[in-house]
Chain A
Amino acid sequence: MTASSEARDLAVRARDRVRFEEDALTYADDAYRVARRLTGSTEAAEELVQDAYVRAFRSWEQYTPGTNLRAWLLRIVHNLAVDAGRKRQRTPQMEPVEESDYYLYQRMGGTSTPEEADNVVERLSQGGVVSALAALPQPYRDAVVLVDLADFSYQDAADILDVPIGTIMSRLHRGRRMLKTELAQTIEDTAEAAAS
C-alpha cells in the first residue's frame, strides 16, 4: 500500500468513526429502552448497551448506509441479550395456550364495575408479574417486551427481531395469552402459600 492510499484509508476510517458516533449514538436511548426490558436491571442494561455499541462499532463496515440503522443496532442489542440469556439459563419451553382473551379477568373473579377492575389488577404483585414475564419462552417474551413494554410498533419489532410482521403479531397474541396464564398461576401459588 502506498503512502497516499494509506492516508486515504485512514481518512475513510476516521470519517466512518465520526459518522458512527453521530448517527448510531442517536439511538442510544432506544437501545437502552430495549435493553432495560430485556435484562430486567439498570446495571445489566447499561452493560448490554455498551457491549452492543462496541460490537456495532467493530461491525460498522457491515452496515449498509441508507438502511434502517435503528433496527440494525437494536438487533445487535437483542442478539447479545439472547446470547447472555442462553448462558444464564435454558429458555423455558412452554406450549402456547388457547385460552380466552378474558382468561385472567375471569380467573380473578371478574368485577361488577369498571372501577373495581383497577383494584383487581393491583392484586398482581410486581414480583409475580416480573416472574410471569420471565417464564415466557424467548420469542414470545421478546414480542411482548418490544411492543407492550417498550412501545415499539409491530413493524419496528419485526425489524429488530428480523422476522416478518405477521410473526410478530402471532407471537404477541400468543405471548399475551401465555402471560395471562402465568399470572393466573402466580395468583394460585400465592393463595396456596397463604392457606398453608
Chain B
Amino acid sequence: MSTTTGACAHAESRMQAYLDKLLSDSDALIVEQHLAVCSDCACAYRFEVKLRQHVKACCGGAADQDHCRDELLAKLKSCCGGAQDERTA
C-alpha cells in the first residue's frame, strides 16, 4: 500500500457522508478526484460499498414485502372489529 497522505485522510473522513450522498457537489468532487488517482482509497471505497450491500443482503434482503394484507385485515377484524363491520352494520 502506498503512504497515506493528507488527501487520503480527507477522503476517509468524508467517505460515509459520500456514500450517504450527503456531501455538497464540490466536496463530492474532491472525494471522486482523489479516488480516481489513489488506488488504496479506491480499494477501500469499493470495500465500503460492498460491505453495505453485503450486510443488507445478509440481514433480510430486498424482496420482503410479500406479507399478507388480508391477514392483517383479518387480525384487525378479529381483535377490534373491522371497518367492514361498521360499514355494513
- Chain A interface residues (CB < 8 Å from chain B): 13-14, 17-18, 20-21, 25, 28-29, 32-33, 36-37, 40, 42, 45-46, 49-50, 53-54, 57-58, 100-102, 104-105, 108, 110-118, 120-122, 124, 126, 129-130, 133, 145, 148-149, 173, 176, 179
Contact = CB atoms under 8 A, between A and B. Distances in A.
Nearest to A125: B58
Interface string B56-76: 101110001101110111011
Question: By DSSP majority rule, is chain B's interface helix, strand, loop, or mixed?
Answer: helix
B82 A58 contact: no
12 contacts: A14-B86, A25-B73, A36-B64, A50-B72, A53-B72, A53-B76, A101-B15, A105-B44, A113-B39, A114-B43, A118-B50, A121-B50
A26 to B, nearest CB: 11
A23 to B, nearest CB: 11
A117 B43 contact: yes
B46 A102 contact: no
Interface of B: 1, 12-13, 15-16, 39-40, 42-48, 50-56, 58-60, 64-65, 67-69, 71-73, 75-76, 79-83, 86-87, 89
B83 A20 contact: yes
Contacts of A108: 47
A126 B65 CA distance: 21
Given A101-B12, A101-B13, A32 B75 contact: no
A105 B72 contact: no
Those 5 A-B pairs whose CB atoms lie nearest each other, nearest first: A14-B86, A114-B46, A129-B58, A17-B83, A117-B47
Nearest to A30: B65
A149 B53 CA distance: 9
A149 B54 contact: no
Contacts of A58: 80
B89 to A, nearest CB: 7
Contact of B65 (A21, A32, A101): A32
A173 B52 CA distance: 13
B46 to A, nearest CB: 4
A46 B86 contact: no
Given A21-B83, A53-B76, A100-B12, A148 B52 contact: yes
A121 B46 CA distance: 10
